[in-house]
Structure formats: C-alpha cells, structure tokens
Amino acid sequence: MATHQRIVDDSYKTPIQTHLNYKDKTAVVTGGARGIGLALARQVAELGGNVAVLDYLSQPDDEFDELEKTFGIKARFYQTDVTKKESLEQSFAEVVAEFGRIDGCVTAAGIVYDAPFLGDSWENVIRAQMVNVVGTYFSAQLAARQMEAQGTGGSIVMIASICAHQTLPTQHVSSYSASKGAVKSLGHALAVELGPKNIRVNTISPGYIYTAMIEGVMERFPSLAALMRDDPPLGRIGNRADIKGAVAYYLSDASSYVTGNDILVTGGLHVGRSNPPTMTK
C-alpha cells in the first residue's frame, strides 16, 4: 500500500506510439534526394507524415518514388540550392502552397572535402560554409517562420557531425569541422530563441555513416576506410538506418520537452577507439 502523496498526472499513460505518430503533419528534408536525407524522408513517411524533399540534384534516387504508394502519404521533390536565397525561398513557398503547413524540418544538405588546412582555398572554404552553415541557417529560418505563422510550434533537426566534437585522425577536414561546429552552436542559440514559440531545435552528430559522401573518401583513402570500419567501439561503420531513430525522436512529440540537444550517433567513436595505435618504444 503506497503511503506517499500521489500526484494527478496521467500523461505518462499515452502510448509512445501515439507520440511518434506523424499523421497529418509535414516535414521538409533538405539534402533528401539521396543518402542520409533520403533515409530520413522515408522515416517521416513511415511515421505517417507527408514529406517535402529539397535538394540540389535534378531528381531524387528512385527509392523516393516508392514513398507515396508504400506509406499512403504525400511526397514531393523540389530542386533547390540551399545556398541561393531565391531558390530556397521559392521552394519553401511552394511547399506551403502544396502542403499547407510545416511541422518539422530536417537539414541534411551538406558537403565535405578533404584538404590540408595550410593549402585550403577560399573557394572550397566559402562553398562549405555556404552549404553547411548558411544553407542550414536559412532553411531553419524559413521553417521556423512558417511554424510561427501557424502558431503550432514545430521541430527543427539539423545534421551536424562528430567533427563538431572532435578531430578524427588522418582526415583533413578543418573547414567541414568549422561548419559543423557552427551547426551545433546554431542549435543552442535557436533553441533559446525559438523555445517560447514551442519550436524545438536539436542537432544530430553522426560518426562514419556509409553513404555516397563517405564512399568517395573510402575509395581514395583505403587506410582511412579501414579506420572507419574498425575504430568505432561497436565494431562497424554506421549505416543510414542508424540515424532514423534519433530523427523520429526529435521530430515527434516523443521529445516534446527536448530542445538544444545533440545526439551523437557514432558507434561510440566519440568516447574512444576500439583500435588505437599500439604504444611502441
């Protein structure tokens, strides 16, 4: 027999499946024509939500075409350059005209390149900051403006990187690291500024995830490819499925009291390597 005073709060009895349900909601996914973004667009559809994909490519991978039929949702593609004001604004306007609302925004559009710091060029550095930082910034702004106009609140999820937390051996990604650190910091600032409007802003920091972006690097640098496979304590490179749970959590009401957060999805790489170099005399 309980003797303590009981609080009256039945909210915890709502099943988690109800919180995760995204039916009648719409999410925008930038960089969703392929790779992690496409997996996240599918994840929105799996939860019953409509999805608008914005990407620089002229068309998405074939798998995108399955979404409407497989999940009974609305999915549209908008060719967009997130670094171009007119292009981004036009696509967001078209999304609102087509879907009537935006409840979630996932910014996955991003680029990486390998260049030693001492030889990096203005062109490369500016391009990376434009896509990874400026494109993310204004995608989040356009989504938040629509959420504010609706008065519904919403959730913005920005893809940062393990590079926002630590420098990985053998890679030359100073410009990329700077851009992803900026994305993570942007998450803190927006969480504070948009919290009173019930717009939550969180980031995800993936480690090595097997996509076209990584495949190119693995082909050029076989020793790095071995590190990507062997170094994470969980003993494998990540795959796109590994990111979906974090996005489902952030986008949905399952995380209704979570903002300004970052989830590392690295197989444990951010806390230690399973294959460190041996100490020799």
Return the active site residues: 161, 176, 180
Closer residue to ligand NAD (CB): 55 or 256: 55
Q: Give the binding range for ligand NAD (CB under 6 A) out of 70-78, 93-101, 167-175, 208-216.
A: 208-216
Question: Cα-flanking dihedrals φ and ψ of residue 129, to 5°?
Answer: -70, -35
Residue 232 binding ligand NAD, by CB under 6 A: no
Closer residue to ligand NAD (CB): 47 or 159: 159
Residue 254 binding ligand NAD, by CB under 6 A: no
Residue 214 binding ligand NAD, by CB under 6 A: yes
Touching ligand NAD, residues 105-144 (CB under 6 A) = 108-112, 131, 135
* Residues 37-66, mask of contacts with ligand NAD (x by CB under 6 A): x-----------------xxx---------
| Burial (CB count within 10 angstroms: exposed 0-12, middle 13-18, buried 19+), residue 222 | exposed
Identity of residue 96: V
Residue 173 binding ligand NAD, by CB under 6 A: no
**CA-based R_g, the chain, Å:** 20
Q: How far is the CB of 172 from ligand NAD (least distance, A)?
A: 15
Tell me how far apart the terminal alpha carbons of the chain are, to the nearest angstrom. 65
Interface residue with ligand NAD, options 36, 191, 199, 263 (CB under 6 A): 36
148 contact partners, CB below 8 Å, separation of at least 6: 197, 199
Touching ligand NAD, residues 62-81 (CB under 6 A) = 80-81
Tell me how far apart the alpha carbons of residues 182 and 194 are, in angstroms, rounded to a whole number: 18
Closer residue to ligand NAD (CB): 81 or 262: 81
Apex 250 CA angle, 146 and 82, nearest 5:
50
Interface residue with ligand NAD, options 22, 25, 31, 251 (CB under 6 A): 31
Residue 211 binding ligand NAD, by CB under 6 A: yes
Q: How far is the CB of 19 from ligand NAD (least distance, A)?
A: 25
Q: How far is the CB of 181 from ligand NAD (least distance, A)?
A: 12
Interface residue list for ligand NAD (CB under 6 A):
30-31, 33-37, 55-57, 80-83, 108-112, 131, 135, 159, 161, 206, 208-209, 211-214
